[in-house]
Structure 1
Amino acid sequence: MISHYYTVIMAGGVGSRFWPLSKQKYPKQFLDVLNTGKTLFQSTYDRFLQVCPKENIFVVANKDYVSIIRDQIPDIPVDRILSEPLARNTAPCIAYAVHKIAQTDPEASIVVSPSDHLILNEKLFIDSILKSLNFVSERNILLTLGITPNRPDTGYGYIQFDDTNHEEGIYKVKTFTEKPPLEIAKQFVKSGEFLWNAGIFIWNVKSILEAFKKHLPEVDECFSLGKDIYFSEKEEEEIAKAYSKCTSVSIDYGIMEKASNVYVLPGNFGWSDIGTWNSLFEYVKKDGNNNHVKGKYVFTRNASNCIIKISDDKLLAVNNVSDLIIVESDNIILVADRNQEQDIRNLVNEIKSKYRDKFI
């Protein structure tokens, strides 16, 4: 059965909330932001080698990242890197991977995961993934992992589940809510009926193809290219055509929020999407004043709860401030309020509007 297990790693995101460290040319999944000696992408790839062999791991990413992927995972089979010619959100990239896998294994069970998440308890996580793959293998369901929330957080989507009935600890999903306001998030956590949406999906190939045909037929049609195209010299050209006419839509909005056969497995394995500076702050070393400092010459005086990153050839003096993000990356310096970090994405969009891609 394990020979029918597959992993699809989505490695195409830009990570704009993690700017200026994460940029379009070299986004955060390819950085060692946790100082572990591995990038987030390398850690994710190695993690899923515990689920299936490298021949069964597919990585979907923007064409500009293919060389980075091959540098970071030198022995990845070339035809397991799916190059996206255009950014079209998560539904098209998943459709591409699923259709390609279906050509060689119509009995496949597939886990789809982002490339840039932190997992502290890897054993518990792998156990959850293997349990999920086994569960979906003979069932026409779409399964997602939900994270038991330990606080109200406006940076995550929420999954409401029906706790009155379950099978093997897997529950029917009632609703999806995208990044609610703080007061709503507080109510969600208090109710005990909601989980964070980790963006990790598990299904068998027949179930997800059926869901695409029903809910996103135009996307499904783009990638229904057949055996003569996939794994052939024609694939790159035909995929370019598919992406040029394919709509941009997320798998959550396009399928998961509309399908009636969606289930969730709650988990608590030390998960974070490391999507923002504050989420990183939770997992890095701090000094006696709760500052995370990275830089050879950083002098703090009456400073607390700050994230500070400066190059080793500069002196940075931080005096009488708290709760700041102070980050230098190449020719960019960001100074921002940690309590307003969700606004960084809007800031990046405004900078892009004024200076185009020069600093993005």
Structure 2
Amino acid sequence: MTNVNKHFYVAIMAGGIGSRFWPYSRTDYPKQFLDILNTGKTLLQWTFERFLQFIPQENIYIVTHQHYISKVQEQLPDLPVENIVSEPSRKNTAPCIAYISHKIHKEDPKANIICAPADHLIMDPMAFTTTCLNALMFVQKHRALVTLGIKPTRPDTGYGYIQHETQQVADNVYPVKTFTEKPNLELARTFLQSGDFLWNAGIFVWNVNSILAAFKQYLPEIDELFEQSLPVLNTPEEKKAIEKIYPQCSSISIDYGIMEKADNVYVIPSNFGWSDLGTWASAYENLERDDSGNAVQGKNVMLVDATNCMIKAPQEKLLVVQGLDEFIVVDTPDVLLICKKENEQQIKEYVAEVKRNKGEKYL
């Protein structure tokens, strides 16, 4: 472990359901608990091990939905049970971050925290460590909210974008000018050509006092709710108090609630082989492909005149795919998905329609 600092923490957010990876990612077993790329480890396990290189294990927290507590324990058996934080319901990232920030602040008022999703892919962990340590040391000295921005390699419409000022305030740290939600293709091309836009990776770094001050200013109603729980945080009464608080929290992202409004937001342009693994196409980009451009997961798949496809099938099942180009084919015991790659952003909509027409059975 490099450069251990007892005031460095990480909150790994692991409560999502990964609906864009349906039907492989399901409500009962979402993608952070799956081995998406056939590496022998789940995305959560990779994320935990990545942070373990420079964060003390006792300072690593997993924030997840209450239904997934046992899965976290199974996959991270060495993590103390008190470091697994249970959310009673899904309320987006702002309530989750308010909760864990108050909880850590009560333990360590000097804490510097990374908040990161559990299900991202990082191909260059050494570069990631260097970037995170740079961010942690910056927020330790400055009242700053830092986000990691990824240098874009293509005009991608699936990511948010961050525009930064040209003058850095510290080593590779720039003030943020604008945030833009997922743009159309024409705008994404403009962003790429301009050179001062980055992909929003959704990885945040701040001193605990800086983020709590931001909650007081920009999301006071959420902050007040968690202030009420302070006497019982880190005690046996915590669970009951949080179960009362969560239904009263508005469902809002930290980006929209704070980062897009605050005046002390900075970005670190980064290049550590990042993918949010948010879609089947992003998995396709990170898997080995055959001479026809097909990425195949499954030992018993036959391809005939198929090109540039992402195919996932149960290991024991014979799957024959003929004549498809640029398709996603995902076969599970009870659901078969066949979808054009260019329409994959609509998979979330298909899941919602399945829920309306078929109930929860196939989710």
- Shorter-chain TM-score bucket reads over 0.9
Compute the displacement of 1:312 (Å): 3.2
Match of 2:165, SS state, is strand
- Structure 2 gap segments, 5+ residues each: none
**How do 1:1-360 residues align onto structure 2 when only pairs under 5 Å count?**
2-225=5-228, 227-360=230-363
Match of 1:2, SS state, is coil
Q: Is the 8 A contact 1:103 1:226 kept in 2?
A: no
Q: Is the 8 A contact 2:229 2:241 kept in 1?
A: no
Match of 1:61, SS state, is strand
- Structure 1 gap segments, 5+ residues each: none
Q: How many residues align?
A: 360
Compute the displacement of 1:354 (Å): 1.1
Compute the displacement of 1:165 (Å): 4.0
Q: What is the CA deviation profile of residues 215-241 of structure 1, one whole-angstrom value per residue up to 9, with x for unaligned ones? A: 000111111145530111100000101
Deviates more, 1:29-38 or 1:220-229: 220-229
Distance 1:220 1:232 in 2: 19
* Percent identity for Structure 1 against Structure 2: 52
Distance 1:227 1:306 in 2: 51
TM-score (norm 2): 0.97
Q: What is the CA deviation profile of residues 38-66 of structure 1, one whole-angstrom value per residue up to 9, with x for unaligned ones? A: 10000001111112111101111100010
The one-letter code sitting in structure 2 at the alignment partner of 1:164 is Q
Compute the displacement of 1:352 (Å): 1.2
Q: Is the 8 A contact 2:147 2:268 kept in 1?
A: yes
What RMSD, in angstroms, separates the aligned Cα atoms of the two structures? 1.1
Q: Is the 8 A contact 2:149 2:162 kept in 1?
A: yes
Compute the displacement of 1:252 (Å): 0.3
Distance 2:225 2:85 in 1: 15
Distance 2:107 2:299 in 1: 52
Distance 1:275 1:312 in 2: 23
The one-letter code sitting in structure 2 at the alignment partner of 1:59 is I
Distance 1:327 1:92 in 2: 34
Distance 2:245 2:13 in 1: 18
The one-letter code sitting in structure 1 at the alignment partner of 2:212 is L
**For the structure 1 residues 316 and 270, does the alpha-carbon distance in structure 2 shift closer, same or farther, using more than 3 Å as the test?**
same
Q: Is the 8 A contact 1:160 1:195 kept in 2?
A: yes
Distance 1:273 1:100 in 2: 27
Q: Is the 8 A contact 2:229 2:242 kept in 1?
A: no
Match of 2:91, SS state, is coil
Distance 2:51 2:321 in 1: 41
Match of 2:28, SS state, is coil
Distance 1:312 1:108 in 2: 46
Compute the displacement of 1:245 (Å): 1.0
Deviates more, 1:200-209 or 1:319-328: 319-328
Q: What is the CA deviation profile of residues 90-137 of structure 1, one whole-angstrom value per residue up to 9, with x for unaligned ones? A: 000000000000001101100100000000110010010011101100
Distance 2:203 2:359 in 1: 32
Compute the displacement of 1:144 (Å): 0.4
The one-letter code sitting in structure 1 at the alignment partner of 2:175 is K
Match of 1:131, SS state, is helix
Distance 1:330 1:99 in 2: 43
Distance 1:192 1:268 in 2: 14
Q: What is the CA deviation profile of residues 253-310 of structure 1, one whole-angstrom value per residue up to 9, with x for unaligned ones? A: 0000000100000001100000000100011111121111222322111110011122
Match of 1:186, SS state, is helix
Distance 2:183 2:151 in 1: 16
Match of 1:203, SS state, is strand
Compute the displacement of 1:213 (Å): 0.2
